[in-house]
Amino acid sequence: MTSLDEWFPGWRAFAEAISHGVVVVDPAGVIRGVNSYAAALSRRCPEDLVGLPLATLLKDTQVVSRAPRDAALAETAHEGEISLVRADATTLTVDVAWSPLVLGEETWTLATVRDVSATRDAESAHRDLEQRFRLAFENSMSPIIFTDLDDNIVAANDAFCAMVGFSREELMGGDSKLFTYSEDVGITEDSHRQTLEGRVERMRYVKRYRHKDGHVIVVEVSRSPARDARGNILYYVISERDITEERELTTQLSHQALHDPLTGLANRALIEDRLSQARSRVMRQGGSGAVLLVDLDDFKGVNDTHGHLVGDQLLVEVAQRLEAVTRDSDTLCRFGGDEFLYLAEGLHSQVEAEQIATRLIDALREPFAIAGDVIEQRASVGVVVWNADSPDSEQVVEEADVALYEAKRHGKSRHVIFSPSMYQRAVTRISRLQELRHALLAGEISMHYQPIVDTSSNEVVGFEALMRWFHPERGWVAPVEFLALAESSDLIVELGAFALGEAVITASTWTPGVSGRLPYVSVNVSAHQFRDPGLCDLVASTLERSGLAPARLVIEVAERVALADVVTSVATMERLGELGVGVALDNFGAGFASLSYLVRLHPRYIKIDHSFSRPAIDSVYNDALLESIVALGAKLQMPILAEGIETSDQLGRLRRFGCDLSQGFLFSPAVPASDVAAMLSELRDAVAAAHD
């Protein structure tokens, strides 16, 4: 048989130049030549293939047997895809084209082999992708539609149909006007025009749809064009998201962020924004406005007496009453705690601001009925009238706070208009408070002790602990000055705890008097302290640390404080009594004493006001009144203590009427703790000498 190289010497160069596999087969079906590409497809060397039957390489022997044999065949016979067997027994799908090759008198076969596995994989991947896309489109939970260049719907998935309530049949071929909220149709038309004209590639916007059943939904729309290889728009892909609940939640969260959760009123953040806007309007348009800071008087007592739940309900009802008298043009805010801020706009005079303040105060005149309790609640108001020339919003609120303090200072349940002179007093007050706070930390505050004596024997039975402040520059500061200052702030609580601790520790060092009795110590408590639920725990822990017997401690509370809330006062006094601590009623008769409450309060002793012990005018009526009070105390087994005794005549008068206890400069002023021991010794000697 003629060899291939003899008949076609350049066949190898020809075969290697072809980008497909080349296999030359003789008439007997034996491979006589292959190029490198064909050998690589079979994972063999070319030499290994030469001499092998073609059926060893190609799996389909029927196809092999149909290889062209007719030398007159003019055209190549394409037999399609068959399997090529590799050296490792794996197969590869190839496309084989047969051509006759006439060598002398013999007709051989030239087969070109092309690897179509990549093409088939790509086609399969394309089919898979198309299938996945179809499934993703049809089964997606996100509403999706396709629209043509006229923005008519050509495809819609189930999620979109469910969102708008229309079927595919109702949607196909139509545009979005069918379900778009009438006022939002222009949004769709504008977005389509912009993408069609190429001004934007993708758009995202929010619009409203009207569901088939009539309810309105809010959707976020994302519109993107699908383009061909040349960049021409084929259609639009529009994905949508129902954000109705999200918008409602955002609105709700926004409302919560700008409104007080308890009362529903505007909160501090919102009022600050409204105030800024109001000031901008005044700057542009003229006119004036006002800020009214409303603070509930003695609200802490409500929480302490009735509990915070009742206190919260009271705040809600107060807010409702204030809101009922709020003008439509104005804003009412819960500014914090028991403070409310009222922003009035469009005013023409200060008189209008004062009228608003009066309405706010009068709104609380009627008692509140909460949880079976009747609660009287009043309020004080600080007012600032401002215009375009006024300071910034923050300072306006500060000025309202200054005016509010003045209203409180002048008796509460009233309004005060801010004036510049008040600001200087406020600055001074803040400075004094800072000084007082520093004084407490620096050891400038100390406790002095004034003796309480048995009127009949002059024996010291106890000491009243009195606070003193020695300022390094101003010297001794009057207690009435700094205690009133502390009472207007939370500093009074710290001072009260200091006084209690110092007095108890000092009293634990005292020695017995003439009769062998150890003197007790009385400590004044403020209204803040007495209403504080933690007072009894503080007293108990202080006694435990000092080792002082509870019977040697007396808590003094002013009559007006005790009678302001008898129920709470009785409960506090009972708890102190359980600890073994006594309670004295101070300044009895100076205010609105009600004798019927004495039995319920039952103090250890009653401290009568100095106006009874040393009246301005001597008269039989004053004597009769003092004698009656002393007799009442004896009947109720409540000793009477007369303070402010300065002369022997005053002491003699008390002895004549049988007053139990006395206190005043006649015996001694208040002295430092270091002088108490010497005082006790001197008084013991004086009493002993009197008995001799």
DSSP 133-170: HHHHHHH-SS-EEEE-TT--EEEE-HHHHHHHT--HHH
Instruction: Give residue-wise pLDDT tens across range 8-31.
Output: 677 777 777 777 888 988 888 888
Of 134-138, 241-245, 586-590, minimum mean pLDDT range: 134-138
Residues 6+ apart with CB under 8 A from 209: 163, 164, 179, 180, 181, 216, 217, 218, 219
Of 39-53, 206-220, 297-311, minimum mean pLDDT range: 297-311
Coil, helix or strand for 373? strand
259-418: in CATH 3.30.70.270: yes
Asked whether residue 65 carries a pLDDT value surpassing 50, the answer given is: no
Contact at 8 Å (CB) between 299 and 311? yes
pTM of the predicted protein model: 0.55
Assigned fold of 140-247: Beta-Lactamase (3.30.450)
Query: Closest by alpha carbon to 581, among 612, 634, 544?
Result: 544
Asked whether residue 669 carries a pLDDT value surpassing 50, the answer given is: yes
Give the pLDDT score at 660.
Answer: 93
How large is the average pLDDT for residues 330-350? 92
Give the pLDDT score at 550.
Answer: 95
What is the rounded CA–CA span in Å between residue 293 and residue 380?
Answer: 8
What is the rounded CA–CA span in Å between residue 101 and residue 73?
Answer: 10
Give the pLDDT score at 72.
Answer: 38
Same fold, 4-118 and 259-418: no
Contact at 8 Å (CB) between 87 and 43? yes
Assigned fold of 4-118: Beta-Lactamase (3.30.450)
How many CA atoms lie less than 13 Å away from 594 in the CB half-sphere?
11
Q: Where are the domains of the chain?
A: 4-118, 140-247, 259-418, 451-464+495-691
Beta bridge partners of 342: 292, 332
Give the pLDDT score at 344.
Answer: 94
Query: Closest by alpha carbon to 380, among 404, 399, 358?
Result: 404
Asked whether residue 76 carries a pLDDT value surpassing 50, the answer given is: no
Number of neighbours of residue 191 by Cβ within 10 angstroms: 21
Exposed, middle or buried: residue 501 (CB in 10 Å: 0-12, 13-18, 19+)? Answer: middle
DSSP code for 87: T
Strand order in the sheet with 91-103: 31-34, 21-25, 106-115, 91-103, 77-85
pLDDT band at 689 (very low <50, low <70, confident <90, very high): low
Helix residue ranges per DSSP H, 349-419: 350-362, 393-409
Rg (CA), the chain: 51
Give the pLDDT score at 537.
Answer: 92
- In CATH, the number for domain 451-464+495-691 is 3.20.20.450
Q: Please count the residues of the chain.
A: 692
Number of neighbours of residue 440 by Cβ within 10 angstroms: 16
Instruction: Give residue-wise pLDDT tens across range 136-194.
Output: 667 677 888 888 888 898 888 888 898 899 998 898 888 888 888 888 888 888 888 88
Give the pLDDT score at 149.
Answer: 87
